[in-house]
Structure 1
Amino acid sequence: MNTALYFAKRYLFSKKTVNAVNIISGISVVGVLVSSASLIIILSFYNGLEKLIFSMYSAFSPELRIEPATGKGFVADSALTAQLNNRPEISNYREVLQERVLLRYGDAQYIATIKGVTLDSTIPQSMDTLLQDGHFALQYDGEEYAVMGARVQGMLGVSLRDESRFIEVFSPRKGVRSGINPMDDFTMRTIRPGGVLRYQQEFDDLLIVPMAFAREAVGEFSRVSAIEINLMPGSDVAAAQRALSTLVGNDYLVKDREQQNPTLYKIVRTEKWAVFVIIAFTGIIALFNIVGSLTMLVIDKKKDISVLMGLGANDGLIRRIFFYEGLLISLIGCVAGLVLGLLFCISQQALGWIRFGEGENLVTDVYPVDIRYSDFLLVFLTVFAISALISLVASRLSVKQTVRLS
């Protein structure tokens, strides 16, 4: 039997001679409870926002993307496409051609990125959830349409209701010297606007068009910028990435979603852990209440300490008693806070009573929550480590003078 732990439990739950000791101990427990619950709630809410942002990005971004290791494009020959067709884990793929172009709509002009995609592959219906207006259709009844980013639409003032006006796309002619008429140096094509994507940094400057239109507009008829690949449901993305990297060789890069847009993933995760550190510091302040609680308890149990020393207890045993006392206070508060935070997150998932403000134009008006049990382990270990350090220091400082006097 652990003697120090036994005495610590008795001291924690027994009535103290000074009522202030009970109050201070209760304040310490509540402080740890509130900080632990806050950590879990904040992490779960950030997990939900992270999942929502990544799901929106994933609807537009392929699971894997093949790009040239050097240069802006490559030739997708029959040998490469045959290798992709023979991979059982690949659901579909599409060739992509991207280039900077000048757009004009009426009197407004804007430099954007044209993105041509092949139409022989199925465009995911989930892309319709990214639309602010219109439809994600690049070809309808034999006519070609363009889907643009929100910034392109805003800068040009494009109206999807005005069917008489088209977007003009200008691109420099390749291999043509400057002539007397500057317009002879550019290729100009027109296309009807069909949809506007929601405001999101990743595709605000895009003008998505059929591949045939993009090739004519930029004057590139053989090369592509990338091949975007979607895998079969349940496929191991990391394993497929390694296999494709071996298949295509060192002349190409095979990127997953995080590698395609590292800035987005880094920002989202950095914000989450920055908030975690800030809330953890507030929890550390709450844990310092243990110092006052242990100091008052040592004063209250001065006679007990004298009796224990008379029975042969050494300084180490006395310190361990109050060290375990501090740990019990923090762990009880931590466990209660984790349970309270879990119940709060479950109620938010079920009832959705915390909502975004009206008019935010988001996919959902309810704050998303994603409960991850790794966060519970992280919070528990964080509280345990900090409380163990504080309890160790507090028990040594509080007991030192009392033991000397005893």
Structure 2
Amino acid sequence: MFKPISLYIGLRYTRARRSNHFISFIALVSMIGLTLGVAVLITVLSVMNGFDRELKNRVLGMIPQATVSSTQILTDWPQLADKASQHPHVQGAAPFTQLQGMLTAHGQVSGILVTGIEPKYEPKVSIIQNFMVAGSIDGLQKGEFGIVLGKQLTDSLGLGLNDNVTLVLPEATPSPAGVVPRFKRFKIVGIFSVGAEVDSMMGYIALNDAATLLRLPDGAQGIRLKLDDIFAAPQVTRDIIQELPSNFYGSDWTYTHGNLFSAIQMEKAMVSLLLFLIVLVAAFNIVSSLVMVVTDKKADIAILRTLGASPSTITKIFMVQGTVIGVVGTLAGALLGIVFASSISGFLGWINQIFGLNLFDAYFINYLPSHLKWQDVILIVGLSLLLSFLATIYPARRAAKIQPAEALRYE
């Protein structure tokens, strides 16, 4: 079978045992460094992609992506919802009324953000129905004062389905005994578990029950919107507000969680840059190892030149040798990175559970997400191979410039 002489000799040099073990050690370090750099880069990018995905799918699936509210109670909110739904980026609209308070049960107290919703409309703007672990949001009926809570919150209060919990509102009510907070007892009709911070801080009640608690007429404070592109939220909100009277105002997720999303994107960029430097250092190690190989093989190069090998052939021989190191290191790193990215969530979750380390308490979700994107793998592998190839050019050209007479003078 035909095999180019440069490829044949280059592969022989790669497989051959060298008399200088230090050169072999440097080549091995270069390959291992490239492998670890590529593997860590793929793994860390997958974790950052996982945080990005969870923020979009879970947190932004529960909180409003965009809202249009009024300074007055909207008794005709269906008309506003229909008008907002005509915008090309709006996929759904639902009414809401929000109030803040504290839940108390069994001597435990926890702050909560309560949202009054219409169960029939809520699935248009929220993913809560996909994460119900007990009960249903359909249990939120007018006048029955039911409430849907997150699993983390019910666990911390020692509550379960159909248990009663007391909601304490910050508004004071005059009484013969003095000014006292407003209390209302609710029955838990549903429990959800999204696996994010919203499980411990949000609750849902019927829209009309929220109006009753606030002593307002039946209606809504505004409407929540679900968009086909979350990054279009600020513009969509402005477009809708421009067509409404002056008593309307808008908000979107960039005001509440925009800093978190920007932080994730910034961390992803900076970590990627820092880890890419590891790959770059490994590529420089290829340069140093090939330079030493060229010095060690001066006699061989001179003999090849006297046998008729051209400078380009010598160049290709050492480029093949360096490229083999880069290809093996890169492919091994890609394989390890894919394995690590696919298993790191389960592994760290197991470690966290076994040893009770609470590793994820500082994050907005209670586990380490990982989302492997093949375009990232292809980009990392491509850049690593390119750097490995570029690292072979200088040593290979240096080898091609060796003069046979000079190399053999002292042999």
Q: Which interval holds the TM-score relative to the shorter structure?
A: 0.5 to 0.7
Offset at residue 93 of structure 1 (A): 1.7
Please tell me whether residue 190 in structure 1 is matched to residue 188 in structure 2.
no
**Relative to 1, partners in 2 of residues 1:168 and 1:373: Cα closer, same or farther, differing over 3 Å?**
closer
Superposed CA deviations along residues 127-147 of structure 1, whole A, max 9, x for unmatched, are 255456554444259623112
Q: Amino acid of the residue matched to residue 192 of structure 1?
A: K
Offset at residue 95 of structure 1 (A): 1.7
Alignment of 1:156-235 (within 5 A): 157-160=157-160, 163=163, 165-172=164-171, 181-183=177-179, 186-198=181-193, 200-221=196-217, 224=220, 226-230=222-226, 235=228
Q: Match of 1:159, SS?
A: coil
Superposed CA deviations along residues 183-206 of structure 1, whole A, max 9, x for unmatched, are 36x443332223444463235222
**Relative to 1, partners in 2 of residues 1:170 and 1:122: Cα closer, same or farther, differing over 3 Å?**
closer
The two structures have a TM-score, normalised by structure 1, of 0.68
Preserved contact between residue 74 and residue 223 of structure 1 (Cα < 8 Å): no
Superposed CA deviations along residues 241-300 of structure 1, whole A, max 9, x for unmatched, are 755642332964463x66652244345555655654565454445444314421332123
**Relative to 1, partners in 2 of residues 1:161 and 1:318: Cα closer, same or farther, differing over 3 Å?**
closer
The two structures have a TM-score, normalised by structure 2, of 0.67
Superposed CA deviations along residues 18-39 of structure 1, whole A, max 9, x for unmatched, are 3545675455445424432443
Q: Amino acid of the residue matched to residue 167 of structure 1?
A: T
Q: Amino acid of the residue matched to residue 207 of structure 2?
A: M
Matched residue, 1:303: 299
Preserved contact between residue 187 and residue 218 of structure 1 (Cα < 8 Å): no
Alignment of 1:96-135 (within 5 A): 96-105=96-105, 107-123=107-123, 126-131=127-132, 134-135=135-136
Q: Amino acid of the residue matched to residue 290 of structure 1?
A: I
RMSD of aligned alpha carbons: 5.0
Offset at residue 324 of structure 1 (A): 7.1
Identity of aligned residues (%): 18
Offset at residue 322 of structure 1 (A): 5.0
Aligned counterpart for 1:265 among listed residues 256, 261, 268? 261
Aligned counterpart for 2:10 among listed residues 12, 23, 30? 12
Please tell me whether residue 338 in structure 1 is matched to residue 334 in structure 2.
yes
**Relative to 1, partners in 2 of residues 1:10 and 1:22: Cα closer, same or farther, differing over 3 Å?**
farther
Superposed CA deviations along residues 199-219 of structure 1, whole A, max 9, x for unmatched, are 632352223211212222234
Offset at residue 399 of structure 1 (A): 6.3
Instruction: For structure 2, list consecutive stretches of 5 or more residues without a partner in the other structure.
Output: 361-365
Aligned counterpart for 1:32 among listed residues 31, 34, 43? 34
Matched residue, 2:95: 95
Matched residue, 2:241: 248
Query: Partners of 1:152 and 1:353 in 2: how far apart?
Result: 24
Q: Match of 1:14, SS?
A: helix
Query: Partners of 1:151 and 1:353 in 2: how far apart?
Result: 20
**Relative to 1, partners in 2 of residues 1:372 and 1:133: Cα closer, same or farther, differing over 3 Å?**
same
Offset at residue 375 of structure 1 (A): 0.5
Q: Amino acid of the residue matched to residue 53 of structure 2?
A: K
Q: Amino acid of the residue matched to residue 338 of structure 1?
A: A
Query: Partners of 1:87 and 1:401 in 2: how far apart?
Result: 68
Preserved contact between residue 146 and residue 187 of structure 2 (Cα < 8 Å): yes
Q: Match of 1:18, SS?
A: coil
Offset at residue 66 of structure 1 (A): 1.9
Query: Partners of 2:92 and 2:171 in 1: how far apart?
Result: 32
Instruction: For structure 1, list consecutive stretches of 5 or more residues without a partner in the other structure.
Output: 1-5
